Structure 1
Amino acid sequence: MSRFLTLTAPVFAMLLAACAPSNSTDVPDRAAAAAPGTLPAMNTFGAPRISSPTRSNSTIAADFLDLSFQMESGRTIDRISRFEGPITVAVASGAPASLNSDLDQLLRRLRSEAGIDISRTSSSEASITIETMPRSRMQRVVPQAACFVVPRVSSWSEFRRARSGRSLDWTTLDTRERVAVFIPSDVSPQEVRDCLHEEIAQALGPLNDLYRLPDSVFNDDNFNAVLTGFDMLILRTYYDDALRSGMTRAQVASALPGILSRINPGGGVTIRESGSQTPRAWITAIEAALGPGQSDEARVSAAERAVRLAQQRQWTDTRLAFSYFALGRLTLSRDVETSIQAFQSASTIFERVAPNGIQSAHVDMQLAAFALSAGRTEEALRLTERALPAATRAQNASLLSTLLMIRAEALDDVGRASEARSVRLDSLAWGRYGFGSNAAVSARLTEVAALSPGR
């Protein structure tokens, strides 16, 4: 399993290409406040506020089975596998400073929310070993992966030696005993944390991702990057005493109603049917739209194909919204009207399926940037104010920082300079976590400042 760069890479520059005034050749003084070496201390997140899933237990059971008995490629997994007994996690030397604190917080959550017996160790015999390295080194072997997890090895050297055999095939596992997680060392703290959450979750539990899930990291749309209440429930179910490694889909399906009624007694209060299966044709279209190796025209065409396929399937869930979102992103610099319409269509669906969620916050950021560039400052203020709580709940510092930067520009444009300075300072502190280097934070601030028509 891997987290793919193509779905997580920043696309704000495309928005800027579409919105920035053609005569914006000057960097405003307010952007100079972000000169390297002058940024405030980095902001970090505490324990997240987690909401319990609202779907019925029968729907969650169907999601659990689809997550646990199929690979992302579509290959079937005949028998479930997991760690049996206490689980230990080791970090190889050379990890970024932020990794350890974010890992400790994640392990605390896994113990308290998922009931998993998991702890840190310095032993070379750890159940899960996390190794970091420069991104370029990792991508020479796995070009498209931002980070990934493999079984039966505990180091990069072991992984390199085992690549040609079948030992790294998850479907051949009876019980999980050793797993390695590989994460780039030269990325932002947020990217490191996102990799920790997704890859450790898959090291422990399900190996599939489902585009239909609106509230999960087990979804290749990558809107959710921190384990959600749904994810913790799935992992708690995975390690319930009623399950064990080697059980078939039928055996697990038989046990799930009893497990979920016991650990999620509120399930069933809100009834929502499980989404339909996602055909490979739609997944291929989305991957072509957001992946590398395609011309801009081909990517837009793939996004349009994804929208048509979703409409033909009569989907009304996040998959149709994500199709529109992809189209909106890809037409930013080609067809602003189409882009805005696509984002607005995505927003309508996201607000119905996941009200006030992180998906809507991403759309609102794009629309707020459009509004700022068009001189509609009050609209930019309204959209950023609406999006900020969701970005904070989802602990997305890069999105939070960008929203605050847009908001600061809008506040300056309406004459609220003192408030703008305070908001901009906060944006820089979150930017250090979300974007990493001082130079990256400064570049984003300069780009946002260029959106204002007066620049």
Structure 2
Amino acid sequence: MIRGALIISTLLLAGCDTVPLEQPPTRAHIADSALPPVKQFGAPQPVPPQRSNRDIARDFLDLHFKLEGGSSLPILTRFEQPITLRVTGSPTKTLNSDLSRLLSRLQNEAGIRVTRVTSGDAHITIESVSSAEIRRALPRAACFVVPNVGSLSEYRRNKRRAKTNWSQLRERTRLAIFIPNDVSPQEVRDCMHEELAQAIGPLNDLYRLPDSVFNDDNVHTVLTGFDMTILRATYAPELQTGMSRDEVAARLPSILRRINPKGGSHASRPLKETPREWVNAVEAAIGPNASTEVRKRAATQATAIARQQGWKDHRRSFSHFILGRMVQRSAPGLAQKHFKTAMSYLGNAPSTQLHRAHISARMAAYEISRGNGRAAQTLLRPAIPTAAKFESASLLSTLMLLQAEALALTGDIEEARAVRLDSLGWARYGFGSDWAVRARMNDIAALRPNTMAGG
């Protein structure tokens, strides 16, 4: 898994991606020294998987025995010895606390104990380096994990050798995760979740999964209840490194009955496979190295393919969501129609709560820009606790800042101030630097027409 190539941005809202960074004249300036401390999330609230064990077994097999490019893996691999982990490089202030929280979750929710060591060799090394160093190694990556190395320098020396090729992996003994130390606390945490999950678990990503970090849409960025179920099954005593797909498939039903008994009561509703042409269109639409027109055409193509496939799930929703983003600045009314269509394919399932919150942010921004404070609040009320439950500080702070503008539009000035102030600690975790927090505030404040002094 290479995080960074296909990130969904929640930051660029309707028509405000070119707003200057200066404080709007009607907004009281908040000095750096007045910014509240960084907030961090409390007890995790994972949502258990909401589908049948039969479908989860299919997901497990495709996650473990396929790679993103389409090739197959002949055997299951996992760590067969107690796992140790060390952190090297120059870690950020929040890395250690977020890592400790993640390791605790892995033990409590997946039954996987990963022990930190401070010196000597470890099975997994997390090296904290600059984004520039990571890009020199892999130009499109924000962070990544590699087998059979212990440092970025060792990876560079072995980059084109079989030992660092996931398709050649036959046992897991030593891996390295490379994480940037000059990004927001949330990006550091998200990288740890995604890359450590791959280091110990599945190697593939599947767009058909609505509730997983093992999905290149990057809607989920911390390990979910489904992910923990997959990881717990990976380390079930009935399995071991070297087993074939058929051997694992024969054991999975009893494993899943034991670790996920509620999955036996859900009816099987398998989603169709995701065709490569849709994946290619999506990657072109949300990738970083294409013009706006090229990306817009790719998003239109993805939407057309989703319609031709007859999908009525989160993938069709995602197609309309990215197309709405493409046209949001030039045709905000059309974008709003795409967002409404995207929302219609998500239903009310717990597995799509976070998808709905992302779309609600876009739709609420449009309503605020038109002066419809009450309509925006209706969209934001369910989205805010959802963002908190799924631990997305960037989305949470964005939603709260939007709520502050919606409240101001309806005359609730004091409440707007309180919500805006409360959002800043989350913004500092989600966006990092003080200037980035102020820029986010400015962008959202600029949405509201006829901004009133003191709001």
TM beyond 0.5: yes
Per the alignment, residue 333 of structure 2 pairs with: 337
Provide structure 1 residue ranges, at least 5 long, that are not aligned to the other structure. none
Tell me how far 1:37 sits from its aligned partner: 2.5
Give the distance between the partners of 1:37 and 1:186, measured in 2 at CA: 21
Checking the alignment, whether the CA contact within 8 Å between 1:47 and 1:105 is kept in structure 2 is no
Identify the match of residue 87 of structure 1 among 74, 78, 83.
Answer: 83
Per the alignment, residue 317 of structure 1 pairs with: 313
Per the alignment, residue 421 of structure 1 pairs with: 417
Cα 1:62–1:355, aligned 2, differ >3 Å: closer, same or farther? closer
Per the alignment, residue 211 of structure 2 pairs with: 215
Tell me how far 1:105 sits from its aligned partner: 0.4
Checking the alignment, whether the CA contact within 8 Å between 1:85 and 1:117 is kept in structure 2 is no
Identify the match of residue 272 of structure 1 among 227, 249, 268.
Answer: 268
Q: Report the more deviating stretch, 64-73 or 24-33.
A: 24-33
Per the alignment, residue 110 of structure 2 pairs with: 114
SS at match of 2:198: helix
Checking the alignment, whether the CA contact within 8 Å between 1:127 and 1:179 is kept in structure 2 is yes
Checking the alignment, whether the CA contact within 8 Å between 2:57 and 2:253 is kept in structure 1 is yes
Identify the match of residue 431 of structure 1 among 407, 410, 427.
Answer: 427
Aligned residues: 451
Checking the alignment, whether the CA contact within 8 Å between 1:356 and 1:390 is kept in structure 2 is no
SS at match of 2:125: strand
Tell me how far 1:15 sits from its aligned partner: 4.1
Per the alignment, residue 138 of structure 1 pairs with: 134
Identify the match of residue 191 of structure 1 among 175, 184, 187.
Answer: 187
SS at match of 1:140: helix
Q: Report the more deviating stretch, 72-81 or 269-278.
A: 269-278
The alignment status of 1:370 with 2:373, answered yes or no, reads no
The alignment status of 1:348 with 2:340, answered yes or no, reads no
Per the alignment, residue 285 of structure 2 pairs with: 289
Give the distance between the partners of 2:372 and 2:328, measured in 1 at CA: 18
1:157-181: per-residue Cα shift (whole Å, max 9, x none)? 1101101211111222221000100
1:239-298: per-residue Cα shift (whole Å, max 9, x none)? 000000011101000110111111111112221322121111000000000112221111
Identify the match of residue 231 of structure 1 among 221, 227, 231.
Answer: 227
The residue type paired with residue 4 of structure 1 is G
Per the alignment, residue 380 of structure 1 pairs with: 376
Give the distance between the partners of 1:26 and 1:65, measured in 2 at CA: 52
Tell me how far 1:5 sits from its aligned partner: 4.1
1:2-151 alignment to 2 at 5 Å?
A: 2-12=2-12, 15-17=15-17, 27-30=24-27, 32-33=29-30, 35-151=31-147
Checking the alignment, whether the CA contact within 8 Å between 1:310 and 1:320 is kept in structure 2 is yes
Checking the alignment, whether the CA contact within 8 Å between 2:5 and 2:288 is kept in structure 1 is no
Tell me how far 1:152 sits from its aligned partner: 0.2
Tell me how far 1:204 sits from its aligned partner: 0.5
The residue type paired with residue 24 of structure 2 is V
SS at match of 1:181: strand
Per the alignment, residue 399 of structure 1 pairs with: 395
> Over aligned residues, Cα RMSD in angstroms?
1.8
- Provide TM-score, normalisation by structure 1: 0.96
Q: Report the more deviating stretch, 319-328 or 166-175.
A: 166-175
Give the distance between the partners of 1:248 and 1:160, measured in 2 at CA: 32
Cα 1:360–1:213, aligned 2, differ >3 Å: closer, same or farther? same
**Aligned residues with identical type, % of pairs:** 47
Cα 1:223–1:15, aligned 2, differ >3 Å: closer, same or farther? farther
Per the alignment, residue 245 of structure 2 pairs with: 249
Tell me how far 1:13 sits from its aligned partner: 5.2
Checking the alignment, whether the CA contact within 8 Å between 1:89 and 1:130 is kept in structure 2 is yes
Give the distance between the partners of 1:89 and 1:30, measured in 2 at CA: 47
Tell me how far 1:436 sits from its aligned partner: 0.3
The residue type paired with residue 32 of structure 1 is H
SS at match of 2:162: coil
SS at match of 1:88: strand
Tell me how far 1:216 sits from its aligned partner: 0.5
The alignment status of 1:327 with 2:323, answered yes or no, reads yes
Checking the alignment, whether the CA contact within 8 Å between 1:216 and 1:228 is kept in structure 2 is yes
Tell me how far 1:4 sits from its aligned partner: 2.0
SS at match of 1:180: strand
SS at match of 2:142: strand
SS at match of 2:176: strand
Per the alignment, residue 308 of structure 1 pairs with: 304
Checking the alignment, whether the CA contact within 8 Å between 1:214 and 1:354 is kept in structure 2 is no
1:204-239: per-residue Cα shift (whole Å, max 9, x none)? 010111111111000111111110010000000000
Tell me how far 1:40 sits from its aligned partner: 0.6
SS at match of 1:7: coil
Tell me how far 1:47 sits from its aligned partner: 2.2
Provide structure 2 residue ranges, at least 5 long, that are not aligned to the other structure. none
Give the distance between the partners of 1:314 and 1:368, measured in 2 at CA: 29
